[in-house]
Amino acid sequence: MSRKGFFTDSTVCIGCKACEVACKQWNQLPDDGFHFTAMSYDHTGALGASTWRHVAFVERAEPLPGHVTGVGDFSWLMLSDVCKHCQRAGCLESCPTGAIVRTEFDTVYVQPDVCNGCGYCVVNCPFGVIDRRPDDGRAWKCTLCYDRLGEDMTPACAKACPTESIVYGDLEALHARAERRVEQLHEQGLVSAYLYGQDARSQPGTGGLNAFSLLVDRPEVYNLPPDPVVPTMKAKQAWGAVAVGALGMFAMAVGAVLVGRETRP
């Protein structure tokens, strides 16, 4: 099976949230309640156990080159956000039960019957994607429609996207398409366009993302970390500190016994 993924082109997203609805419909996820966040048209706020696609809305007082608005310096950025299916996934590397696996499509999948709800993947995702559902405590996230891929179908969100902002396909084809799109935008004058997390070269901390995006502003603006790292990469230093600490603890225990024994009258 070839490596599959998403390319999300934020410059053609119209914020219709069809992807959110299609995802909930196919995956049979409940709605998040009808809450207004009082900050933008974004009412879901973040990815979670019952929200596997989320459209971010950013209003900026800066113009986008090539855009004409009637209200002066203003631009609206939208990005449909999803689990990144990282090449080095923090959730997968930290899962103590083996519930999180890499599938034959190179995506990251949580097996619901194995997950025991320890919640360790939640703190290990540098993108804040995976979350524990509150009733039985199991972790849930985007499966990249694993049940549809097996039937050679397109994931629900990409299928429903009316502007092809979300493109699903083979990773190599997506990379080529994305690079062409960036060149095209640069020619049109939108020189701030770049690809976020396309491969290990542009994002070494995750080894590249299977769901990468085209952005036109800093990652922080879209609530994406600028230099994410799979926490496991830093674990060596922590284990090294444990080794040093173990020496210290051993010295304290043996030393105390020797001192206490020898001072006996």
Partner 1 sequence: MSTELPGQESLLDRLQRKRDGRNVDPRLGTLLGEGSHQRVKDPDVAFPIHGPRTQAEPDAGASPTYHGLPVIKQPVWIPTIPTYLYVGGVSGAASLLGLALDLHGNRPLRRLALRCQQVGTAGDMLSAGLLIADLGRPERFLHMLRVLRPTSPMSMGSWVLALSGGLNTVALVLGRARGILGTLGRVSGATAGLLGMPLAGYTAVLLCNSAVPVWQATRRTLPLFFMASATASAGSLLSLLPHSEEEARVLRPYRLAGKVAELACGVAVERDARRTPGVAKPLSLGTSGALWRTSRACSAAGLVLDALPGRRRWKQVAADTLTTAGAILARFAVFHAGKQSARDPRATFESQRAGHGAAEVLGHAVASDGKPLSFPLPVVR
Q: Which of residues 244-263 bind partner 1 (CB under 8 A)?
A: 244-246, 248-250, 252-261, 263
Stretch that binds partner 1, among 13-21, 162-170, 180-188, 190-198 (CB under 8 A): 190-198
Q: Which one of residues 117, 150, 162, 189 is an interface residue with partner 1 (CB under 8 A)?
A: 117
* Distance, CA of 258 to CA of 248 (rounded, Å): 15
Q: Is 135 in the site for partner 1 (CB under 8 A)?
A: yes
Nearest approach, Cβ of residue 94 and partner 1 (Å) = 5
Q: Which one of residues 75, 93, 169, 190 is an interface residue with partner 1 (CB under 8 A)?
A: 93
Q: Which one of residues 4, 107, 108, 126 is an interface residue with partner 1 (CB under 8 A)?
A: 126
Stretch that binds partner 1, among 5-13, 48-56, 166-174, 180-188 (CB under 8 A): 48-56
Number of C-alpha atoms within 13 angstroms, CB side, residue 190? 20
Task: State the burial class of residue 118 (Cβ atoms within 10 Å of its Cβ: 0-12, 13-18, 19+).
Answer: middle
Cβ proximity to partner 1, 69 vs 97, nearer residue: 97
Binding-site residue total for partner 1 (CB under 8 A)? Answer: 106
Nearest approach, Cβ of residue 2 and partner 1 (Å) = 25
Nearest approach, Cβ of residue 233 and partner 1 (Å) = 5
Q: Which one of residues 14, 39, 153, 173 is an interface residue with partner 1 (CB under 8 A)?
A: 39
Q: Which of residues 4-33 bind partner 1 (CB under 8 A)?
A: 27-33
Q: Which one of residues 1, 96, 152, 187 is an interface residue with partner 1 (CB under 8 A)?
A: 96
- For the chain, the DSSP string reads ---EEEEEEGGG-----HHHHHHHHHHTPPP------SSSS--S-S--SS-SEEEEEEEESSPPTT---TTSS-EEEEEEEE---BSS-HHHHH-SSS-EEE-TTS-EEE-TTT-----HHHHH-TT---EE-TTT--EE----SHHHHTTT---HHHHH-TTS-EEEEEHHHHHHHHHHHHHHHHHTT-TT-EEES-STTT-TTTT-BSEEEEESS-GGGGT--SS---GGGGHHHHHHHHHHHHHHHHHHHHHHHHHHHHT--
Cβ proximity to partner 1, 164 vs 234, nearer residue: 234
Stretch that binds partner 1, among 65-73, 150-158, 181-189, 228-236 (CB under 8 A): 228-236
Token code pair at residue 219: 């990652």
Q: Is 87 in the site for partner 1 (CB under 8 A)?
A: no
Q: Is 191 in the site for partner 1 (CB under 8 A)?
A: no
Cβ proximity to partner 1, 59 vs 170, nearer residue: 59
Q: Is 187 in the site for partner 1 (CB under 8 A)?
A: no
